[in-house]
């Protein structure tokens, strides 16, 4: 069993920058992305998230604005993806659970039942809905919402599609079967 003293000794031998980056990975990202599966972010929201993420990366590295180091250089230096790049896979991961839900579940109804034609959003509400965001995410994978239950039933295939649709993930298999 690992004790607190063992962890302290281990972390004392690490560089302080590595410790701060580890903290960024463990604390800040999960706090930022809490319930991001349910968001329908606008471009402004994504820009603010990425700006905060870059600020959190620059602090432990000791990079200040006067150094004139671009965000791309910081991302390459740390090897970490932008926070905005993790929202879509999280949203699609949650979508993969919905076809397996019973049809009486509210989440299932929200996706697979038709919306009344006379329904309108109240004034002041966001124009972009979560469902429209899902459609946009699925368009990148070349999948229609009606076809989601088939690949989502296979957890490995769905995870592979979400992670980037590489040949080894089964994404090519899905496209070959449906052609």
Phi-psi region of 126 (alpha: psi -120 to 50; beta: other; left: phi over 0): beta
Straight-line distance from the first to the last Cα atom of the chain, in angstroms, rounded to the nearest whole number: 52
Which pairs count as long-range contacts for 149-158, CB under 8 Å and 24+ apart, including other chains?
149/99, 150/174, 150/178, 152/95, 152/96, 152/97, 152/98, 152/99, 152/100, 153/99, 153/100, 155/96, 158/93, 158/96
Q: Are 141 and 168 part of one and the same domain? A: yes
Q: Are 102 and 169 part of one and the same domain? A: yes
Q: Are 52 and 106 part of one and the same domain? A: no
Q: Are 74 and 95 part of one and the same domain? A: no
Full residue range of the structural domain in which residue 160 is found? 87-115+123-178
pLDDT tens for 86-145 read: 888 888 988 888 888 888 888 888 887 777 777 777 787 777 788 888 888 888 888 888
Q: Are 93 and 41 part of one and the same domain? A: no
Q: Are 109 and 74 part of one and the same domain? A: no
Lowest mean pLDDT among 64-68, 97-101, 109-113, 167-171: 167-171
Q: Are 19 and 54 part of one and the same domain? A: yes
Q: Are 94 and 168 part of one and the same domain? A: yes
Q: Are 92 and 69 part of one and the same domain? A: no
Total domains, the chain: 2
């Amino acid at each position: 069993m690992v004790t607190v003293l063992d962890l302290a000794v281990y972390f004392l031998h690490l560089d302080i920058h590595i410790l701060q980056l580890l903290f960024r990975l463990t604390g800040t990202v999960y706090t930022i992305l809490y319930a991001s599966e349910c968001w329908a972010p606008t471009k402004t929201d994504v820009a603010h998230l990425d700006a905060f993420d870059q600020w959190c990366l620059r602090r432990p590295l000791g990079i200040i604005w006067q150094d004139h180091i671009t965000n791309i250089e910081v991302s390459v230096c740390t090897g970490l993806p932008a926070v905005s790049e993790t929202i879509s896979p999280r949203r699609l991961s949650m979508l993969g659970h919905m076809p397996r839900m019973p049809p009486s579940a509210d989440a299932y109804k929200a996706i697979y039942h038709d919306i009344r034609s006379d329904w309108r959003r109240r004034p002041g509400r966001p124009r972009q809905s979560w469902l429209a965001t899902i459609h946009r995410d699925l368009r990148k994978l070349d999948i229609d919402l009606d076809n989601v239950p088939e690949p989502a039933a296979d957890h490995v295939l769905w995870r592979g599609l979400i992670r980037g649709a590489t040949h080894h993930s089964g994404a090519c298999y899905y496209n070959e079967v449906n052609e």
